A and B are shown apart, each in its own frame.
Chain A
Amino acid sequence: MNVLDEIYQKAKENPQKVAFPEAMNEKMMQAAYETGQEGYIIPVLVGDGAEIKKAAKERGYEEKVFQIVDISEESYKKTLVEKYVALPQTILKEKALNRRMQNPLYYAMVMQAVGEADVTFAGIDNTTGDVLLAGQMIIGLKEGISTVSSIGLCDIPGFQGSEGSLLAIGDSAVCTNPDAKQLADIAISACDTVKELMDWEPRCAMVSYSTLGSGQGELIDKVVKAVELAKEQRPDLAIDGEFQFDAAISPSVAEKKVNRESKVAGKANIVIWPDLNVGNVGVKLIQQFGHADAYGPMLQGFQKVVCDCSRGAPVSEIKGNIVISAVRAAGSR
């Protein structure tokens, strides 16, 4: 069974409510319908109720598979607003919130914030920027976390790492030039993400071109500082570095280069890149030369699971991302 099959299996055992604010989009509705009908999730379509019902019928979907939330219906909206403004640390007041909720993306996130949905899934009609900003405004970031970021899960044929052919990597998509604190936050979030999704015991390596002081310079200083900050903030997590990539994932290299105790060196299951240049090139190398499947990017750092899918994604990929986000949401509780 490959990793995606395992994740699908997990989703079925505990289907989560996934809110779709871009329900009218044909690909989105199809992906929502199929994942719902196959029992992986409970799809909640958020938007103009009548329009959604009409489109679903025309497209040949059984309405009973969906929960349809009409954003113009006042009484439910009122309940949501009341519950939302009563939450601690929300930044929008009632009037401004009501205005924002005319947009289904914000409406869906409010539902999620108050527990009426487990995931918000968007990104086809809204840009990544829209989704990230709405997420920060409505869902908010986890306590102590200063940036949104992402990780990807790579299934690399022939790779024999500490989780078989799998390796989580981040950030290859979102946070462009993290400072030391942000880099530490990416590592911490990544540990939480893999725990939620895969039940792994996270072993997180922060990589650079130096292993424990073998090189010097400001590029390395940032990574060293990030390791320090991450350990300070979350001493419960196995986050270590700075390591070169090979010292992070290869036991024989780690044995030569890492001359102290480390729970991570040589057996990392998460690799954190120092910036997005490395991260993006890194994932492309793994895909092109390693012939890997890369799943993601999975957004992290939010208090709850927010998912942004690629605009050009085919329905099969959207379905995979929906199911991954649902399993993360189930695992985060």
Chain B
Amino acid sequence: MNTMTIEARVPLDGALNPNAREVPLSSTQITDYDHRQTVGKITVDNPKMLCREVNVYYSEKHALRQVSLDIGANEVIAFIGPSGCGKSTFLRCLNRMNDTIASCRITGQIQLDGDNIYDKNIDVVQLRARVGMVFQKPNPFPKSIYENVAYGPRIHGMVNGKAELDELVQASLERAGLIKEVEKRMDEPGTSLSGGQQQRLCIARAIAVNPEVILMDEPCSALDPIATAKIEELIDELRENYTLVIVTHSMQQAARVSQRTAYFHLGDLIEIGETDQIFTNPKHKLTEDYITGRFG
């Protein structure tokens, strides 16, 4: 039963006026499920990325429906939800990694600092240098540790000379908290590291090109708790300089590292809000069911 009507859709021009959007909520729980509604405040005061009415289709399958949300500068935003809910799909829209899938079609708008990243005159090479990515499975290149980190700066021509590159590699590894472990083995293959170290190497590789946003697709799902703790610590430190978007299956992880959390369900953005609020006082029935472990 539809207990109330919520107008949560944000028109594109609404993005320019973030204060105008406050989704009305009653004290009663919302029990119905209508994909056109997103509960919670989707806007932030200082948006780094701005997504409006994003739809993703794989051939005929409508994988993501009318997702609108803002990603604030220097925040960690977590996407949670059951498998197949579209959270990874949405993440991959943010640096156009979905372009590699031939059958994938995307509508709507995603802006990075006010520029539509799906605009014709935006080059994906430049976009991906600005929006870095860390994948679910650690995927270092089968090259040396040094070469892994040096790759990005090298292809983008960011440094002049070997000394500068050395410095950048050192600094990136230090920021990723890996320098102590690899200092003496820079020439060994990146694949010789342990899983957690590999993932931190991938993070070092991503931050070596000094991106503005870092997307992380379940970065700890293949790691043990100790390695996970290290990565989470790192995410918290990185927030100072970068905007981070993290997809995770672990609700504890989302609660630990993020400031805002978005809950996706079957291709819809169901609810978004401050992480504390989502985990202590979810407004939507589906969110509550999910975080209390009733499904997913």
Verify that A and B bind, or say they do not: no
Q: Which residues of A contact B (CB under 8 A)?
A: none
